[in-house]
């Protein structure tokens, strides 16, 4: 049963746990999504343009968002991806940006309480209504229409490129990057190391990849449940052992699922810039940026766990020397940082010299 506390307000958040939270409306609109939070205190431009936040409502735990402005060169994609943004306080510059993007925004609420609720109860559905005449019932109506993340079966289509795009490097390595919602910094990190990167749609098939004769097949980050990326998983199955494979975030989950592992949804996920990760071989701990709500539960028999999260022991790195596979659950390319793990891209490109490019897709039986 909903518990509403009615005072004058122009923004309401109807939570799955039954509460209706009042706030100050900054950008009007009505929307719904999965309510999540990030603990990052910088990088709000990068977070808001990260495709992995598609179909989610992003809550910032840091109290003031926008204190160093908005610059397009820091964006990770060409638009804002969360369906709404929530903070203790947004600056006017951020509000203007979100208004231009048509993304509802609210502030002047207790984000500490909101974050605590998500940590204790898990990421939850939320309906949001912002505007001069909105009521709690408007927010509840949005909540009633909200889907769970795993129900967004075609979410990849919302964030992928629509056509093959090439970014030229000055070296000899060719990377086929399957775009499940790739951050621009991933492409930049590869090109900066000399690789030519061909970005393909998330539903590319084996013939599309083979035509590029790639030295590495790279599966990107992205939103939603990895089990919904059927075409991408089939690519991994097709090329495993033939072309070196790499993946970041969702990419790690898809690679694991394709090679016999299993994935699962986390309670509230990892989202922030200070997640500690331990390398099992060296014992070294690095600080990482993360944004994911699913994880690899069991890597299966073909992959080894090489890195784990210090806080909860979830798999942060997978590898197979036999299949030439290396993946990370976190974001080594993260901006504005930390940059402790940028060497991952050197390791990925080092695999390019260990495999030939003679792969041909297996014959597929006709109906």
The torsion defined by the Cα of 87, 122, 157 and 248, in degrees rounded to 10, comes to 90
* Segment 197-219, tens digit of pLDDT: 999 999 999 999 999 999 999 99
Query: Which pLDDT score is estimated for 359?
Result: 36
* Segment 174-202, tens digit of pLDDT: 999 999 999 999 999 999 999 999 999 99
Residue 259 in this model has a pLDDT that exceeds 90: yes
Query: Which pLDDT score is estimated for 339?
Result: 85
Sheet holding 196-201, edge to edge: 165-167, 196-201, 174-179, 216-219, 245-248, 325-328, 315-320, 304-309, 262-279, 285-298
Instruction: Tell me the pLDDT of the chain averaged across its residues.
Output: 93
The domains located in the chain, with CATH, are 9-147 (3.50.30.20), 156-352 (3.40.50.880)
Summarize the annotated binding site for L-glutamine as residue ranges.
52, 222, 224, 250, 253, 291, 293-294
Query: Which pLDDT score is estimated for 178?
Result: 98
Residue 6 in this model has a pLDDT that exceeds 60: no
Residue 140 belongs to what H/E stretch?
Answer: helix 136-144
Q: Are 38 and 61 in contact (CB under 8 A)?
A: yes
Residue 285 in this model has a pLDDT that exceeds 70: yes
The catalytic residue positions are 249, 331, 333
Angle 296-309-317 from CA coordinates, rounded to 5°: 55
Query: Which pLDDT score is estimated for 9?
Result: 54
* Segment 12-71, tens digit of pLDDT: 999 999 999 999 999 999 999 999 999 999 999 999 999 999 999 999 999 999 999 999
Residue 364 in this model has a pLDDT that exceeds 50: no
pTM of structure? 0.93
> What percent of the chain lies above the pLDDT cut of 70?
94
Summarize the annotated binding site as residue ranges.
52, 222, 224, 250, 253, 291, 293-294
């Amino acid at each position: 049963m909903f518990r509403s506390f009615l005072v004058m307000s122009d923004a309401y958040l109807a939570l799955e746990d039954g509460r209706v939270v009042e706030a100050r409306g900054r950008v009007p609109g009505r929307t719904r999504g999965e309510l999540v939070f990030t603990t990052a205190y910088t990088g709000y431009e990068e977070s808001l343009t990260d495709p992995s936040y598609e179909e989610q409502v992003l809550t910032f735990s840091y109290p003031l968002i926008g204190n160093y402005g908005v610059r397009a060169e820091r964006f990770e994609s060409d638009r804002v991806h969360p369906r709404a943004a929530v903070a203790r306080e947004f600056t006017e510059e951020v509000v203007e940006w979100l208004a231009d993007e048509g993304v509802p925004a609210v502030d002047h609420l207790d984000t500490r309480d909101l974050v605590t609720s998500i940590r204790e109860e898990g990421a939850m559905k939320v309906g949001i209504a912002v505007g001069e005449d909105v009521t709690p019932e408007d927010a509840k109506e949005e909540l009633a229409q909200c889907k769970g993340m795993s129900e967004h079966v075609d979410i990849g289509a919302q964030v992928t490129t629509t056509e093959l795009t090439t970014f030229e490097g000055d070296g000899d390595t060719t990377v086929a990057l399957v775009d499940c919602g790739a951050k621009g910094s991933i492409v930049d990190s590869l090109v900066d190391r000399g690789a030519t990167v061909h970005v393909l749609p998330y539903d590319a098939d084996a013939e599309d990849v083979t035509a590029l004769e790639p030295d590495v097949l790279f599966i990107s980050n992205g939103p939603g449940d990895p089990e919904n990326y059927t075409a991408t998983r089939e690519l991994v199955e097709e090329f495993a052992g033939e072309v070196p494979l790499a993946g970041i975030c969702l990419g790690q989950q898809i690679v694991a699922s394709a090679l016999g592992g299993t994935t699962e949804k986390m309670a509230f996920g990892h989202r922030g810039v200070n997640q500690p990760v331990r390398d099992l071989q060296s014992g070294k701990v690095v600080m990482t940026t993360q944004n994911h709500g699913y994880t690899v539960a069991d890597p299966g028999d073909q992959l080894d766990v090489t890195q784990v999260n210090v806080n909860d022991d979830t798999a942060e790195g997978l590898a197979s020397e036999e299949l030439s596979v290396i993946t990370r659950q976190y974001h080594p390319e993260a901006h504005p940082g930390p940059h402790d793990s940028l060497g991952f891209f050197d390791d990925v490109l080092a695999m390019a010299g260990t495999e030939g490019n003679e792969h041909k897709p297996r014959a597929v039986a006709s109906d």
